[in-house]
Each structure stands twice: as structure tokens, then as C-alpha cells.
Structure 1
Amino acid sequence: MEWIVPFAVVLVLVLLPLVVASGRRSNVDQQARRLAVVERKLDLIMAHLGIREPEPEAPGAVLQELLAGRKIQAIKIYREATGVGLREAKDAVELLARQRGLG
């Protein structure tokens, strides 16, 4: 019976942070869902109005890397300069290469 009080204290000290963390995670998940809904609505409005998101300008270093045959390095530079994801950067660099006839 003497072990019940220390066990209860340890149990509370272990479970309390888990409960607090799950509450924070739930809040973040809720915010992410709300943001996704707002982005979807904005995309629908832009499509309805015929507005296209402008492509970010490729820095000159991207073209230099493409001319040197270093496509992966060009993608890295594009990502750093524009802040887009890997897929978007790859697509943009490949489009730039096709527009310039660089294969």
C-alpha cells in the first residue's frame, strides 16, 4: 500500500504532459484544416476570375547551372531563391530548360 502514492504521483507526472501535448497538436491540426479550406476557396475564386498565380522569376544562377548541365544544382538554387517545394522547383527548372532548348 505504501507504493500507491508514489505510483499515483509518477502516473500524473507522465500523463499530464501527454494530455497537454495532445491538446496543442489538436489545435495545430484544426488550424491546418482551416487553412486548407481557405486555400481551396481562394483557388476556386482565382479560377472563377481567370487569375493565374504568377511564376516566380528564375535567378540567373539557375540558367547558368542549366547551361553547365547541372540540373540538380539548378533546382536547388531555384528552391532557395523562391521558397517553393521540390516538385514545383523541378517543374519550373525543366520548363525553363525546354524554353531555352537545353533538353
Structure 2
Amino acid sequence: MDIAVYLLIPLVGLLGATIERKLGRIDRRIARVERKVDLVMGHLGIRDADPEMDQVGALLLDGKKLQAIKVYREVTGAELKEAKDAVERMATRL
């Protein structure tokens, strides 16, 4: 019984690490797709007409990046890193 537990623990750890790496790759791929969509929308002159996003932009213009990230998270339900990356992309377009 003890041997099975000792063999199972590294297996679970390895499985967890594998899943984490795959999720990291998926996150990076999604971020690349979002950047490309943002570039295409910018090239076509299409703007996201969400009024809450206008508030995020206004906060960025006022130099309140942390508050902009907070509002972005509230509006979209995004995780902290995703919101930070999105707000930084918005800041480069302003």
C-alpha cells in the first residue's frame, strides 16, 4: 500500500505539471489571437463601442493604470494577468 502511494504522488505531480504547461501554451495562443484581432480591428477602424471600456480608456489617460485594470476586470470578469495585458495593449493605442 505504501509503495502505491509513493508511486502515485510523483505521477500526480507530473500530470499537474503537464496540464499547467498546456494551459500556459493555450493562454499564450489566445493572447496572440487577441493581439491579431486588435490589430485587424484597428486597421479597419473598428472600435469596441462598450461604454465601460471608454471608462477604462479615460482612466488610462488620467494615468490611473491600476484603477483601469480593476474596472476592466469588473466589466469583463477577466483574471488579473489577462486584464493587465489587455489594459497595457489599450494604453499603447491611446
Cα distance in 1, alignment partners of residues 37 and 31 from structure 2:
10
- Letter matched to residue 83 of structure 1: T
Root-mean-square deviation (CA, aligned residues, Å) is: 3.1
Aligned length: 61
Report the Cα offset of residue 12 of structure 1. 1.4
Consecutive unaligned residues of structure 1, counting only runs of 5 or more, are 1-5, 58-74, 88-103
| TM-score of the aligned structures, taking structure 1 as reference length | 0.47
Equivalent residue for 2:29? 34
Q: 1:28 to 1:48 in 2, by over 3 A?
A: same
- Letter matched to residue 43 of structure 1: D
Sequence identity (%): 35
Deviation sequence 1:56-87 (CA, Å, 0-9, x none): 36xxxxxxxxxxxxxxxxx98xx3xx436698
Consecutive unaligned residues of structure 2, counting only runs of 5 or more, are 53-69, 84-94
Q: Which runs of 4+ in 1 moved over 2 A?
A: 8-11, 82-87
Matched, 1:16 2:11: yes
Q: 1:84 to 1:53 in 2, by over 3 A?
A: farther
Which one has the bigger helix percentage? 2
Equivalent residue for 1:53? 48
